Every structure is written in structure tokens, then in C-alpha cells.
Amino acid sequence: MKKYVILAGAPRSGKSTLAGLLCKKYGYQHISMDSVLAAIENVFKETNIDTNNETIDNTKFISSKLGLFIKQMINSGEYAEQDYGVVIDVCQLLPEDFAKNISTDNCDIYYFGTSNITKEERLKLLREFDTKKDYTYYESDDDMLKKCEYIVNLSNYIKLSCSNYGIRYFDTTYDRQSIFNNFLNNFPYRFKLEDIKTPQDILMYMNDNFKYGWLDNNNEQHIGNLKEFRRLYRTSTIEETLKYKIGTCLEQTFLMHILLDRLNIKNKMFCTRIYEGENFNNLDEEEHMHAFLLYYLDGKVYNLEHPNWEKMGIREYNSEEEAIKIINKYYVDMAKGKSRPVTQFFDVPANLSFKEFNLYINSFDEYLKKSLC
């Protein structure tokens, strides 16, 4: 199990209750971000955090701050040497800010909400389960109807966003206890190859199972760093990728390509890089290459990104040309404006050094030049 577990989602969807059950069963420590956020709101007025403003736009504002805040909590290392793990329950952290800020290497996240229901139905259900321990017990029906509208709208927003980022979403509108029991019995969730039915499933499978890493010439594993990459890297076989559950953008993109092929979904692999010719020998430079994948479904173009966890997710574009232009601009900007050709490739041959793979990509440029003559 991973060191950190985040239970996020709409108010009154069962996050705190489930956090208590997880702690009891698995020995986790519980952090309520509602309490932390209330303290920040009341003491540090300059943050402009207002949890009483229950709108999607305000939740997005708070989420942009919370993503960074929780990232720093995790990266502080305060819990690293403890035997126990940590459960964080939080309302205002949205999937896009989790994906942007927090690595899944040591943190799992699960979202909860009450979607596909009217605000009136939500109010009726809330009143059925209200107790004197709940703050909503003391609110009027008129006030709670406004809150229920926010809860339903936020749940629907989160559900859609979870689909785009390959994150699990649980609807706890009905039969909540059964959902909790199933969650506890199957925790921690891990998507399997045989479960994959959609591109969203592929992203969830990658999130659950794969880390950014690589094998070197001596079959040593390197996780989350690129030290000596150009000197020691070799491309892995698909069998090695599945066995060790690690891969650079090359191995991960190739695996997603194979999985989309299995679903009979048209897709293409591309490589953006700072061009280096046949005779380059600068092995001390940082890596200048990124592989990415586009897939084509129902007349639309999508980018399925996992290895770059800051851009992880599924994004829709109007055309292949638009997708390549926008994706490449991100890496051009990272390279401080240096031009980066984009080349389509069709395979990741095993056991190539970085230099050999670079020449392999260059060969497609030459092929395209000849085919256009």
C-alpha cells in the first residue's frame, strides 16, 4: 500500500466516515483538510480563501492552492520514517490539481460524490441521514437546498474530470454502506490488463501500475531520475515494461499504443525533440526528447498522456494538427524557445541506447523527406 491516501470529493459524500474506517482497518493516521483549511482561512486572511462561497469557480481557486499545499506536506518527509500511512480527506481538491501537483508514486487518490440526482432529491437523502453530529442538521431547508445544488454540480464536475484524468470516482448517492464495504474489501484498488475496455481505463491502469523509470545496460532500475540517462539507458522490451512496471515516455507511450490497438482504436505515436544529428556525442546533456500519443475516436482527436505526470490526462483537440502544435509548444517553451521537430514513429525497438534511438527517430525524417520528393 502507498504511504498516502487521499479521499476527495463533494461535501457529505462519506469521505470522513470512510477515512475513519480505513484508519481503523489499516492503521492509517487521519488528516482532515477541512480543519486545516478552516484554520488557514481564519488566521491568514491574505490567502483570500472563503469556504462559504460554494461555487465551482471558488472551488477551483481553493483547489489550485490546496494542490500545492498537499504536495509540500507530502514532500516535507515528516511522515516518511513513520511506520504508519496517512489518510487525507479533503473537499476542495479537484482532479486536475491533483494530477498537476502530486505524484502517484507514493499517493493514491479516490473521489466521492452524489451525481446524476436533482438538488431536491439530494436534500431528501441528506435529511434521511442527518444526525446531530452533522453541521447540516442545524441548517434550514432553504439554505440546504442551495448547498445541495452546489453538491450535485460539484459531483458532476468531479465525475467528468476523474474520467479525463484516469482517477476512480465512487457515487455514494445510494447504498452507501455497501459501497464502503466493497471499497474496504478491495483496497488498494489496482486496475488489471483484463479490465481495460476504454481509453479512460488505460489511463487508470497506467496510474495504478506504472512509475517513470528505466532499465540501464546492466539491467539496473532507475526510478524517477535521469542521472546518467544518455550514457546508460536502453529501450526495454514490452515484457520488461510489464514486469518491472516502469518506463520512460518511450516505453509508456508504446504500451498505451498497444493497448489502444487491442481496443481497435486508431492511434499514432509522435516524438518531439531538440534535433541532434548522426554524430552527436554529448552524453552529458539533459534528455531533449518526449514521446506522446494521439488517438482518434468518434471524429475527435485526443492526447492520452501518462509519463509526464504534470500533463497527465486525456485532452480533446479539434484536429491532429492542433494537437501537435499545442503539445509541441509546451516542450518548446520548456526548452526556452529552441525549435523541436515532431516525428511520427511506429515502434520502440528493444535494447537501443539513447543515441541509437535518436538515430532511429531521425531515420523517419529522412524517410518522409524521400517520400515527399
Domains contained in the chain, CATH given = 4-186 (3.40.50.300), 195-372 (3.10.620)
Q: Each residue of 204-242: pLDDT tens digit?
A: 999 999 999 999 999 999 998 888 999 999 999 999 999
Residues 6+ apart with CB under 8 A from 295: 199, 260, 265, 266, 267, 268, 301, 302, 304
Strands 289-297 and 300-305: antiparallel
Cell output for 364? 523517419
Q: How far is it, in rounded angstroms, from Cα 87 to Cα 106?
A: 12
> What is the pTM for the complete model shown?
0.81
Beta carbons of 28 and 17 less than 8 angstroms apart: no
d(C-alpha 5, C-alpha 19), whole Å:
9
Q: What is the pLDDT of residues 181-202, one digit of tens each?
A: 999 999 988 889 999 999 999 9
Average pLDDT over residues 341-345: 95
Among 195, 197, 2, 29, smallest CA distance to 110 is for 2
pLDDT digits (tens, 9 = 90+) for 291-318: 999 999 999 999 999 999 889 999 999 9
List the beta bridge partners of residue 314.
304
15 to each of 10, 101, 106, 111, 237, how far by Cα in Å? 9, 21, 20, 9, 41
